[in-house]
Structure 1
Amino acid sequence: MADLFDQPGGAAAEPREGSAPRPLADRLRPRHLDEVIGQQGILGPDGPLRTMLDAGTLGSIVFWGPPGVGKTTIARLLADETELEFVQISAIFSGVAELRKVFDAAKQRRRAGQGTLLFVDEIHRFNKAQQDSFLPHMEDGTILLVGATTENPSFELNAALLSRAQVLVLERLSHEELEDLAQRAERDLGRDLPLEPQARQALLDMADGDGRALLNLVEQVMSWRLDAPLDTTFLSQRLTRRVAQYDKSGDAHYNLISALHKSVRGSDPDAALYWFGRMLDAGEDPRYLARRITRMAVEDIGLADPQAQGVCLQGWETYERLGSPEGELAIAQALVYLALAPKSNALYKAYKGARKAAKQTGSLTPPKHILNAPTKLMREQGYGAGYDYDHDAEDAFSGQDYFPEDMERLALYDPVDRGFERDLRKRVDYFARLRRERNDT
């Protein structure tokens, strides 16, 4: 969806009598880049956009960021700064026919000496062929493309398109920036928000970094007829918090599960519970979380605590029996157990090393002494010859080599000195010593 707002300078002219009232977000739209609140990382004196504009070398751009942070507004202002014709389309509603018309019109403008800044909202919604259709027009200067996406361009946009455009990341607005925006709205409306200080902070929290959402909330509050400023309780009863940005198959989903996983790996149960709560609050399926938590048990804890995997499976099974919301507590219990468990990725690394070695060594056969020999022909070929039955050896350990004959022995599993793997470390060292002794004799 297009950014309807962004953060503005002076108030625009009031609508003519008889015309439809203009929304607050539209009235407060900035008229110059230096009026935009936030995004100083790209708009500041040393930011990439300001640098390109000062040098007169503005190229095609993809804006990547959450809703309501100014993608559309900045694109409009770039067109003004460069004296290009601003054309806006949405990938949701545009197809091949619409694109062809846009390109034809841009060619006509170019012949007349007028350039075109084509702003494509939700550009990731275009398929590969549609994205490729932009390339020749970008290369010959027919259009300067500015795309906007809430999804990770690395996954959603073609490499050819990305190679011709610079990706600029727009951040959600900070609490201070939202406060600046609220004050601009108050100046435009000519009065203060009828909120107690804590309620004002709660209103900013409800916007969740989205400037457009904040202006919509401000407009609602200003429309109420109140005898006294509202406190937080009454504000919460009248307004609902903006739904957190979350797409179960999108970038926000992977960001949160990454935060959850790394909090567990970092032995921080409080942070792990916070991200767990964030994902549940956004509507994530608890079964997905149970599966991912079980993966953490085998990937980051492993044999440092052999019970961890069982705790996760028990929590998962408990959820299946109880359902929501009671069963989610069992998953949370497993999560805390994992966060506080000793950590080891020794088995995970050994497994990856084994898979890599298996690929590299191809089809090397096992040594003949450990091959079964159920037939006379196989025995004649030496299958099973020289095999030492470990139970008959001293310490029930023969020390024979079980790797292929043409392959050097690998040391894959290197247990850490934490948790149960302390004991496994002693066993690994014990058998390594016996193996050396048996082979030296």
Structure 2
Amino acid sequence: MARLFGTDGVRGLANADLPPELAMSVAAAAARVLHDRDDSQRRVALVGRDPRASGEMLEAAVTAGLTSAGADVLRVGVLPTPAVAHLVGELGADLGVMISASHNPMPDNGVKLFAAGGHKLPDAVEDEIEARLNEQVDRPTGAGVGRVRDVPDAARRYVDHLLAAAPQSLRGLKVVLDCANGAAAAAAPEAYRQAGAEVIAINAEPDGININDGVGSTHLDVLQAVVVERGADLGIAHDGDADRCLAVDASGAVVDGDQIMAILAVAMHDSGELTENTLVATVMSNLGLHLAMREHGVELRTTAVGDRYVLEELRSGGFALGGEQSGHVVLPGHATTGDGLLTALRLMGRMAETGTPLASLAKVMRRLPQVLINVRVADKAAVVVAPEVVAAVAAAESELGESGRILLRPSGTEQLVRVMVEAESEEHAQAIADRVAEIVGTIR
């Protein structure tokens, strides 16, 4: 049986794969686990959501589950995922629940849990919660039932935290901000304006249906056009729950997560903030990031794909910066999870501090052309170790030398093998990727 919790909580089609009954059961089981680990006082859980329509239903279910198990609930309403993580720590909650499917389409939703302090819930605790979903228990009654109250100043608290973590004035910068009709539609424009920037907000009118609908960090074309049309210094794009940040420069060229990390790593290296001169990224980060960090004396540590692995490496090594090419960037000195708003503030702060356009800052690294082919197979684990595939990868590595690389990895969720090739030219990368993918597809 598949594990209920994925790499980012429990996620699926709302009211189908993720019905309110399941959300309520997960919340109740989480409250019981917390109580049994420490019954010295009443547990407090903080609940937030993104604006998708099903979030209203799931918020009610989660709140019912928590209070039915005797936990008090602090509702913060529609806020970014990193805001919920931050407020768990600031308000001293024992548990945080974020109802969001991040960059997924509107019909999806998810339930993500945070431990005390706003850190990701350990796998062992998630497994214990899953094991106790359907247990028969005596529920509290009377005064033992949990109570619910709203936190009216939750958004202000989060914005104040952002401004303290990124104090550089942005006066003189003009930014176009794509909020993806998501959780950052109110907080992000407010934070950037308070920091001093002139903000042109687009896709900042969520109606519960339009989140991530052709907008945000996975659809940059509208942002690119508006930046050029309005003569802005840059554009910033978030996803539905605003844990990601991508950018475009004044010409409309995309500045991806690897380039953002490179810019921030060099800035933090110069200021002495980069612990052990180390950046943490995944194996999917562009080879150009590796080469740029080597040139600037920064060690680049790589992890498996997924923000959870980046977070684990950051915490275990005490490092100060990490993230993914997708724009999910983590600054552990200020946040316990990826925070797209904090990332954007620090990126714009570097522009303001140095007086340098984003296009010039982004030249710190050169993105090598990257080609990714997904090959559907019968047995992904067997394919990646098949002698013919191993030989094809070795031949590709020899051909590429130090000017490129090939990465073969099985999908974490489907019977797919991903063939990724980087080379000096897109034509070369495509040719090698096609050759290896063809061999991968012949394995039975």
TM-score range, shorter chain: under 0.3
TM-score by length of 2: 0.23
More helix by share: 1
TM-score by length of 1: 0.23
More strand by share: 2
